[in-house]
Chains A and B, each alone.
Chain A
């Protein structure tokens, strides 16, 4: 793996640093936060940056720095779980669909098309409106919405691998579908899957934050980037850091993911921008 990643360029290194920095801060937040992120103090509401509160306080007098540090925990956790499950399931199914082809491919791809045709945020809202907004519901919803997209991308890559001679050689030996998918196809789309993971994660984290912003994700008073922006955007001129802090954190994480997947794509020969859109 180290050899694979060498030569991905300085942008890639910056990307990795941004991701790891955000993850590390989120993990350590409970220990390094100067204040309890949910403790309100009406006497200290809406203060500007000071020695006591580096980034100031919000309208309930909560410390913005502490809330920002803790604000990624929910989003990052959901992103990690949802992306991992969606990409793993999508990669396996995508390879299988590509290899088996025929009616199985037709049926699966038809369903994939149908799910993809409902805009992600609408699909997510449908699920949330029916099942509520617990964390696992959100994870499930994101998995349902994004697995089809991963299937599509991986299937495309796997179809070109499938027609290569080493897969034909395995078929001619009489290998079964399972070993062919696992031994021959999957390892050769791993680069595509890796790039897909980084990019998918960037969309998921934005989506989760948007959901929180709209009031369907994290519940107040929990600290969460999206929620913080929703709560504080009207006071943007009074305590700018209450909005800018969480957005800067979120944006740096997303930029990190983009740079990483760009670097990976360049190094591994996968065209990242080809994957296009949310």
Chain B
């Protein structure tokens, strides 16, 4: 398919240099009161047609601000303090209103991070695509709209065009966003964290789609991400940004093979990877009784006795009497000192299970027995109000979002002191000293006790969250996506802290995550959940080396790692298996259990 540059806007043809985009010594400042705070400083790069350029950096590095200048968009209060942005040879900030409209959506198109929020809620999807075409003087009848939706490989486009954004899944919304962006055949595509809000499998499929489309349309593409794996798979050239400056900008392969800047090297060290663990192929579906089929549910491997801290049997949790349960007959076992990870995408029931163990949601059926060190124990199927003090103390929860897990009106010391007081862990006179000890233990100065949560960084808040959990002197820590909201370097520190504390205190951990690489890093054993059901459980080494349940295999295949220059080939986005009810379990190696399945009928 051939593309005419500047089809919609009457722009000059591509400048002699051949670069579709040139950013020259761009500096942007934000006005805060009387001071000018620099957001970007002397940023320069160029993108040729058909090339993809990656901007990678942690939050606050200024990467999104720079990306949006390609559409001549600045946040209110920001201004250009130096340099210029040339698209097709023209300075975008010098355009008159008509040409600016032609640039936006016509020459340069944006795919934003959260399609759920960037589609207009009160307009049908088809209408929004339609206006993207007509506003750039393109002929657009119903067939053109459907073709645009078809191009991003959406199913049932006729029906879909009539729907409202909230009636679509996250992946579908993002595809609509892409369809809208490429509708007017732009020559430059700006992708601002395009897959951050998506599950791994969907992410891989969406990235594949974008890469194919940008190749097909020969666009100059700018991709902005905090995820080194995403940039590595997408971009031909990558620039690393920090504090508004580009630290190094090199071809992707070279950058990942031999990073020059110390910060880049640090980033690459901090990113957890699956590492040497090989990508596994799924074992063949089993139609009937295999020899190694185990009819017993996987309640561990006969490790009964004192080294089992928590054993759950047949746990189901439903929020509504009708409808499928959020957690469906799950068995699990955590041994003393062990880290068990649960992975799964959103809606898999992993957080519900964790919250139930913490007593926040009562289990609908099943037992959850905990056997404490000191002879304490009991059934965690009871909600927190009906648990004994010892039982409540035994299990402590650490939250995903450190910003909201601390009461903004209470000091750090007050937050940590509360469980001390409630559980009577230490005498009142010793409370102050204990708070300081705990702060030191999580790597914070004791003087931080006086601060309010707003005076701490995200990583520091998460440390306080950990200290608060430790204050109760628990035996089981439930960590619910505790590093999801953090930058990689901070994530690495927190994970290290947690594993250190776990060893020194003899804690067991239930680690909930959607990130397989993190799990590979921290867990001893791993459980894979989908739609509330347990699909696979086993030692991390076994699960990551396979054989696997096809779902686990698709998860593993979708992982993007820094240095991988290719995206996974055609990831299986459609589920190609169905549950084999009532189903048995395969045990390819001791302790590694896989639920049996059947191939989907329509294949």
What's the Cα separation between A165 and B484 when bound, in Å?
Answer: 15
User: Are A169 and B359 in contact, CB atoms less than 8 angstroms apart?
Assistant: no
Q: Is A184 an interface residue (CB 8 A)?
A: yes
Chain A residues 90-104 with CB under 8 Å of chain B are none
A173-B409 CB under 8 A given contacts A164-B404, A168-B399? no
Chain B residues 538-582 with CB under 8 Å of chain A are none
Q: Which of B359, B397, B409, B418 contacts A188 (CB 8 A)?
A: B409
Q: Which of A164, A175, A184 contacts B422 (CB 8 A)?
A: A175
User: Are B392 and A169 in contact, CB atoms less than 8 angstroms apart?
Assistant: no
User: Are A173 and B360 in contact, CB atoms less than 8 angstroms apart?
Assistant: no
Chain A residues 195-247 with CB under 8 Å of chain B are none
Q: Which of B385, B396, B407 contacts A184 (CB 8 A)?
A: B407
In the complex, chain B residues whose CB is within 8 Å of the CB of A183: 407, 410
User: Are A172 and B422 in contact, CB atoms less than 8 angstroms apart?
Assistant: no
Chain A residues 162-194 with CB under 8 Å of chain B are 164-166, 168-175, 183-184, 187-188, 190
How near does chain B come to A98, taking the closest CB pair, in angstroms?
16
Nearest opposing residue in chain B for A187, CB measure: B409
How near does chain A come to B57, taking the closest CB pair, in angstroms?
27
Nearest opposing residue in chain A for B415, CB measure: A166
User: Are B422 and A165 in contact, CB atoms less than 8 angstroms apart?
Assistant: no
Chain A residues 126-179 with CB under 8 Å of chain B are 164-166, 168-175
Q: Is B278 an interface residue (CB 8 A)?
A: no
How near does chain A come to B286, taking the closest CB pair, in angstroms?
41
How near does chain A come to B386, taking the closest CB pair, in angstroms?
10
What's the Cα separation between A190 and B359 when bound, in Å?
Answer: 29
Contact with A along B385-399 (1 / 0, CB 8 A): 101010010001101
Chain B residues 359-404 with CB under 8 Å of chain A are 359-360, 384-385, 387, 389, 392, 396-397, 399-401, 404
User: Are B360 and A172 in contact, CB atoms less than 8 angstroms apart?
Assistant: yes
In the complex, chain B residues whose CB is within 8 Å of the CB of A165: 399-401, 404-405
In the complex, chain B residues whose CB is within 8 Å of the CB of A169: 397, 399, 405, 468
In the complex, chain A residues whose CB is within 8 Å of the CB of B359: 172, 174
User: Are A174 and B384 in contact, CB atoms less than 8 angstroms apart?
Assistant: yes
User: Are B407 and A187 in contact, CB atoms less than 8 angstroms apart?
Assistant: yes
How near does chain B come to A259, taking the closest CB pair, in angstroms?
22
How near does chain B come to A101, taking the closest CB pair, in angstroms?
14
In the complex, chain A residues whose CB is within 8 Å of the CB of B39: none
User: Are B405 and A166 in contact, CB atoms less than 8 angstroms apart?
Assistant: yes
User: Are A166 and B404 in contact, CB atoms less than 8 angstroms apart?
Assistant: yes
How near does chain A come to B337, taking the closest CB pair, in angstroms?
23
In the complex, chain B residues whose CB is within 8 Å of the CB of A187: 407, 409-410
Q: Which of A171, A184, A188 contacts B384 (CB 8 A)?
A: A171
User: Are A173 and B418 in contact, CB atoms less than 8 angstroms apart?
Assistant: yes
Q: Which of B385, B407, B410, B468 contacts A174 (CB 8 A)?
A: B385
In the complex, chain A residues whose CB is within 8 Å of the CB of B397: 168-169, 172
How near does chain A come to B471, taking the closest CB pair, in angstroms?
10
Q: Is B472 an interface residue (CB 8 A)?
A: yes
Q: Is B358 an interface residue (CB 8 A)?
A: yes
In the complex, chain B residues whose CB is within 8 Å of the CB of A170: 418
Residue of A172, A175, A183 with highest tally of chain B CB at under 10 A: A172
Nearest opposing residue in chain B for A167, CB measure: B407
In the complex, chain B residues whose CB is within 8 Å of the CB of A172: 358-360, 384, 392, 396-397
Q: Is B408 an interface residue (CB 8 A)?
A: yes
How near does chain B come to A70, taking the closest CB pair, in angstroms?
41
In the complex, chain B residues whose CB is within 8 Å of the CB of A190: 409
How near does chain A come to B425, taking the closest CB pair, in angstroms?
12
In the complex, chain A residues whose CB is within 8 Å of the CB of B404: 164-166
In the complex, chain B residues whose CB is within 8 Å of the CB of A174: 359, 384-385, 387, 389, 392, 422
Q: Is B419 an interface residue (CB 8 A)?
A: yes
How near does chain B come to A103, taking the closest CB pair, in angstroms?
17
What's the Cα separation between A166 and B404 when bound, in Å?
Answer: 6
Nearest opposing residue in chain A for B359, CB measure: A172
What's the Cα separation between A173 and B384 when bound, in Å?
Answer: 8
What's the Cα separation between A184 and B407 when bound, in Å?
Answer: 7
User: Are A173 and B407 in contact, CB atoms less than 8 angstroms apart?
Assistant: no
Contact with A along B404-428 (1 / 0, CB 8 A): 1111111000000011001100000
In the complex, chain B residues whose CB is within 8 Å of the CB of A173: 392, 418-419, 422-423, 472
What's the Cα separation between A165 and B392 when bound, in Å?
Answer: 17
**Could you list 19 A-B pairs, sorted by A, with CB under 8 Å?**
A164-B404, A165-B399, A165-B400, A165-B401, A165-B405, A166-B406, A168-B397, A168-B405, A169-B405, A171-B360, A172-B359, A172-B396, A172-B397, A173-B422, A174-B384, A174-B422, A183-B407, A183-B410, A190-B409
Apart from A174-B422, A184-B407, A188-B407, list 9 A-B contacts with CB within 8 A.
A165-B401, A168-B360, A168-B405, A169-B468, A172-B359, A172-B384, A173-B418, A173-B422, A187-B409
- List chain B positions with a Cβ less than 8 A from chain A: 358-360, 384-385, 387, 389, 392, 396-397, 399-401, 404-410, 418-419, 422-423, 468, 472
Q: Sorted from nearest, which 7 A-B pairs have the closest CB atoms?
A: A165-B405, A187-B409, A165-B399, A174-B392, A166-B407, A165-B404, A164-B404
